[in-house]
Amino acid sequence: MEILTENKDDFFVIKIVGRLDASTSNDLEEKVLEAIEDNGVTNMLINFDELEYISSSGLRVLLVAAKKLKVKSGIIKICGMKSHIREVFEIAGFTPLFTIEDHC
């Protein structure tokens, strides 16, 4: 997995390339927590354009980020979600927890 970051408009953008699973989710969690806790990020956009797979470990990281941003009155958006990833979100009941946009 590769994690690319940038600041764009009012959002801290994280682009995930590859697979987000038990072996890679800790890397994403470190980036997310550093952005929120150390750098004061309140608005986050997660780009799933090149995400191929997400496991429950990856979902947990996104849930942690959403909870931390909610406390700061921030938001988390997800864009570019492929249909098989969206299906995982729907099955897990995560769809209502995030603002999901088709295109980034």
Low-confidence ranges of the chain (pLDDT < 70): none
Give the phi and the psi of residue 94 in degrees, each rounded to 5. -90, -15
**Residue 91 has what pLDDT?**
95
**Residue 30 has what pLDDT?**
96
**Residue 68 has what pLDDT?**
95
**What does pTM read for this prediction?**
0.92
**Residue 2 has what pLDDT?**
96
Q: Name all domains of the chain by residue range, CATH numbers in brackets.
A: 8-101 (3.30.750.24)
| DSSP run (H or E) holding 38 | none
Q: Are 1 and 20 in contact (CB under 8 A)?
A: yes
Nearest to 20 by CA among 85, 66, 87: 85
